[in-house]
Amino acid sequence: MLREPAVAGMFYEKDAPALKKNISKYITEKKEKYKSRAIVVPHAGYIYSGAVAGEVYSSVIIPDILIILGPNHTGAGKPISIMTEGVWRTPLGDVKINEPLANEIIKKCSVASKDVHAHLREHSIEVQLPFLQYIKKSFSFIPIVLGEYNVNHLQNLLESTAAVSQDKELLLIASTDLTHYEDAASAKEKDTLVLKAIEKLDEEEMLKHVEDNDISMCGWMPTFVTIRAAKLLGATKGIIIKYMNSGDVSGDYNQVVGYGGAALI
């Protein structure tokens, strides 16, 4: 199956040369890069969150296999949806799903479903691919879209994901934006709570902050799964790489969206 891009021309340029030129503004050469078990990156339009995403991708080694977890914004498809076969297309070319590994996760995780529908219009995974393609010529990936609020089901998924990842060089990617549509000061206060919990690799504390402070973090589920799975794979700390909000681009600090990037090493 070919999954066509859903947000090319909206979240990022649909013309390949223009897209490469835009991404190049956000990628920096680093003498040393983190060998990370996982990263946390935002997924808004590149004009707003590209600087954070680019700094994260510039700071870590990108292996040949990626597992990208994103939230379900559309409501379509299954609660834990894994697309297990096919190719995703972007203006920079096609990326193949790692079918054997995707099916391994499905086999081990009783609550995950083989599903295409959750992925067709969802942007949170798609917007990561051009950055990755810009940096790395060839890789395979597994797209997992989460609309599941049951923490026990998320635990099942993360244990299954960690189990199939133990002997492989791969990177977990949690796609999330942070606080939505609050003033910049309020957003920073709330987002700092989340980022400090990520820094400590404390997914339970992060979730408690989200619930207790009504933090509109759309990708708490991917982040929860990724933190705990990364710890099972040996990660011991989180490093916050960059934080900003949409007001830093638009100039409107009355209603912003927060964007944070981290490496879990």
Residue 16's pLDDT is 98
Model pTM greater than 0.75? yes
* pLDDT above 90: percentage of residues in the chain: 100
What would the pLDDT profile of 190-241 be if each residue is shown by its tens digit?
Answer: 999 999 999 999 999 999 999 999 999 999 999 999 999 999 999 999 999 9
The count of structural domains within the chain is 1
What would the pLDDT profile of 157-175 be if each residue is shown by its tens digit?
Answer: 999 999 999 999 999 999 9
CATH label of the domain that carries residue 248: 3.40.830.10
pLDDT grade for 246, boundaries at 50, 70 and 90: very high
Cβ(260)–Cβ(195) below 8 Å: yes
pLDDT grade for 156, boundaries at 50, 70 and 90: very high
What would the pLDDT profile of 30-78 be if each residue is shown by its tens digit?
Answer: 999 999 999 999 999 999 999 999 999 999 999 999 999 999 999 999 9
Residue 176's pLDDT is 98
Range of the structural domain that residue 217 is part of: 2-264
pLDDT grade for 83, boundaries at 50, 70 and 90: very high
